Structure 1
Amino acid sequence: MSGSSGDCNVQPTQEIKVYKKRWLILTLFVVYSASNAMQWIEYSIITNIVVKYYNVLDYVVDMTSMIYMITYIPLIFPASYLLDNFGLRWTVIIGALGTAIGSWLKVFSVAPDRFWITFCGQTVVAISQTCILSIPARLAAVWFGDNEVSRACGIGVFGNQLGIAIGFLFPPMLVPNKDTYEIERGLQRMFYIVAAITSVVLILILIFFKSAPPLPPSSAQVVQREKSESNKDVKNFFNSLARLCSNRGYLLLLISYGINVGIFYAISTLLNRLVTKEYPDSEEDAGRIGLTIVCAGMVGSIVCGILLDKTHKFWLTTVGVYVCSLVGMIIFTFTLDVKIYVVYITAGILGFFMTGYLPVGFELAAELTFPEPEGTSTGLLNAVVQLFGIAFTPLYRYLLSIWEDFWANVALCCILAVGVLLTTLIPNDLRRQKAKA
């Protein structure tokens, strides 16, 4: 079949079946995604401790988080090609293998003069992330029925958020801000635990994870399968990219989505500095506030996924959640210096909508770009997110250094307001819904 809009109206004749194994596949992916994502913020959330032990600049510690964003951009296109042409299984195996290798490298980095080894391990784990972020929308579409896709995508994104939550919570608990010996023991304990977890996850994936069920689970997936079977080459991959780049609604979503998630990345990376500046000696509070943001976001992801499955109001939900993200950021800005317990509450409100927005954006992208492969559309979406994250993190750091925290956060609110405006301009063109009609 061609990639024209006429594809959306093809009536499938192939048998459709939803398999029980879909929940095992989704659960494995959630654990796999979490095992990688928990390493993203594990250094930044204890920045002051890492600086003290390895005797490096805090900017270098920030780079352990930003390397996730930097490596994603050039590697997303090979990763998307891998996903579109070799399927979910091989993509996930490669990602899980890289995550385990990077985790074991860090085990050998416990010495004050071995920061370069820990950074190499972090880079390998970061590269492996390219085999994760584009998966939820594809996995949901390939394994789940028409009325479960958005929910499954939300649960898939939940895995990434679960990992970030673990990364916020446990490093401050495992690595105490004490003398060098105690810090060294804490780092060693943390690295061994993570390496063991990622190794077990790799083994489970090798045994149980499959690319796709024998029969498609939905009418939209019938169309997708027929199209993908006739378009498995590099030329058609780049033709798909060209069509995405000429889709006005998708381009608007790229920018608005990048703004929202890029700001979340900046806040997460610099949360230790933000909290400890207002509340000295509060490393563990910084981790728990980060945990609150992400846990609230996990709830938001699932709630939004259920809402989308029941209403199919993709555009309206996207706009509504984005507006609420802006409101949450405004509340967070005005309450940061009140009381620490108030920060927990306002951070939870911010997290519910800002990180709850992640699967909503994925699903709207799938609607706007159908029948293009979800791996390509979400991969490009995530590449733009990394660009915005790379831009906003140093910008936020600079604003925090020259302004009060309040005005730095006001600047982020203004940027989010631009994202709201761009989101309202996205056309309500739900192509995947038309294929189901």
Structure 2
Amino acid sequence: MTALTGGYTEVPVHVPPPVEELPQCKVYRRRWLILTVFIIFSLGNAAQWLEYASISNVVTKFYNVSSYAVDWTSIIFMLTYIIFIFPASCCLTKWLGVALSFLLTPVVVRNHSNMDDVGSDLARLYYFMAGYTTLAFILIVTLFQDKPPLPPSVVVAKRNAAVPEFIAPLKRLFKNPGFNLLMLTYGLSLGIFNAFSTLLNQLVLLYFEDGQEFAGRVGLLFIVGGMVGSVTCGVILDKTHRFKETTLTLYALAAASLLAITFLLASRSHTAVYIAGAVFGISMGSYLPVGLEFGAEITYPESEGTTSGILLAGSQITGVLFTVAYAWLIKVIGDVWANVAMVVVLVVGTGLTAIIKPDLKRQAANMAALHKQKDDEP
């Protein structure tokens, strides 16, 4: 822009661009208290998923019900998870809750021949869970906050100020061929994991007499292996960005380890089943967060919460279907062929994963931003 002086001489005038006013932000120490309350709640919530399925033999005997009725205590959890999945997140504390359920429930509730002793053990379990969940409820009501008075960062402030969308992102996601394939394969994998975890006690007891504690330890290895594998895969992905290759490897490993468990159960070797169970846990447990990250990559810039929510909801739907079908197949054709059927599903899932196009949009956006930053430097 120019201005005219008295002598009609044009003088350049610099007009600075408008300065964007940054929102006021603050990081509160109270966030650690809120995180602690959330962890306490999540542990209690996840522990109840397999609380009865992990001692299915005791529950069927004490209450004189079928194993199918016990399976529904797990299925109901998955059904309600679908309803309340949005917004969704994958939380380590949920894994810890499931691990505690696998480990402690068979130890607290023993397979006594005397029903009065079984009743006493169950009462202790119920009183503990009732007390724990009541404490969690009180902490949430008294301490939990929806959000802090001020946002912790500019990014969060802008996200809070944005108008939320729901229908439009869903339409875009379901028009994405890669995401549709991932949604199918993710559902197959996690659905089988949920079903196998639910029926683990019943499967192990077919080969190991009084093996409920052993079944619990195998389930614990599923979870511990999954947590270790998740951290390891996170490091690998951070360095290599090989999302599809990592996902494909984990899928194939899950199929192979489930096939191994199928035949190693008949060997009645505790060590062999422990090893195969650990590998199964590493592959399946690692696939859960890796699949979510892969979904975030191929659907960027859609919200990761929406993408993760759809994938997790789908896995709960297939978990319900596979649990019902798996239990039925065990009764009709036996555990070996039922397991083989699940392995075939995982093999199919591996093949479908192989044809997903690794369009890493989020990585491309990050690289473009870095290049632009370098170009803007003097």
TM-score category of the 2 structures, normalised to the smaller one: 0.7 to 0.9
Distance 1:216 1:331 in 2: 49
Q: CA deviation at 1:373?
A: 2.4
Of 74, 81, 95, 1:72 maps to 81
Distance 2:110 2:60 in 1: 13
Of 312, 326, 329, 1:399 maps to 329
Of 268, 274, 280, 1:344 maps to 274
Structure-to-structure mapping, 1:377-392, within 5 angstroms? 377-392=307-322
Distance 2:362 2:355 in 1: 20
Distance 2:96 2:289 in 1: 14
Of 65, 86, 102, 1:168 maps to 102
Q: CA deviation at 1:315?
A: 2.4
Structure-to-structure mapping, 1:14-29, within 5 angstroms? 28-29=37-38
Of 264, 276, 285, 1:355 maps to 285
Q: CA deviation at 1:352?
A: 1.0
Give the TM-score taking structure 1 as reference length: 0.71
Q: CA deviation at 1:196?
A: 2.5
Q: Give the structure, 1 or 2, with the largest relative contact order (CA under 8 Å, sep 6 or more).
A: 1
Secondary structure of the 2:337 match is helix
Of 114, 122, 132, 1:197 maps to 132
Does residue 123 of structure 2 align to residue 207 of structure 1?
no
AA in 2 matched with 1:286: A
Q: Gaps (5+ residues) in structure 2? A: 1-19, 370-378
Does residue 139 of structure 2 align to residue 185 of structure 1?
no
Secondary structure of the 2:266 match is coil
Cα gap change, 1:16 to 1:416, in 2 (>3 Å): farther
Q: Contact 1:231/1:237 (CA < 8 Å) preserved in 2?
A: no
Q: CA deviation at 1:262?
A: 0.6
Partner of 2:225: 296
AA in 2 matched with 1:266: A
Q: Contact 1:28/1:209 (CA < 8 Å) preserved in 2?
A: no
Q: CA RMSD in A?
A: 2.8
Partner of 1:52: 61
In our comparison, the structure showing a higher alpha carbon Rg is: 2
Distance 2:323 2:157 in 1: 39
Cα gap change, 1:16 to 1:341, in 2 (>3 Å): farther
Partner of 1:135: 89
Q: CA deviation at 1:204?
A: 4.6
Percent identical residues: 42
Partner of 1:229: 161
* Higher helix proportion: 1
Cα gap change, 1:238 to 1:186, in 2 (>3 Å): same
Q: CA deviation at 1:23?
A: 6.9
Cα gap change, 1:193 to 1:259, in 2 (>3 Å): same
Q: Contact 1:69/1:386 (CA < 8 Å) preserved in 2?
A: yes
AA in 2 matched with 1:273: Q
- Could you give the per-residue CA deviations for residues 279-303 of structure 1, whole angstroms, max 9, x where no partner exists? 1221111111111211111211222
Q: Gaps (5+ residues) in structure 1? A: 1-11, 84-133, 137-155
Q: CA deviation at 1:40?
A: 0.5
State the aligned residue count.
343
Cα gap change, 1:425 to 1:229, in 2 (>3 Å): farther
Distance 1:26 1:180 in 2: 41
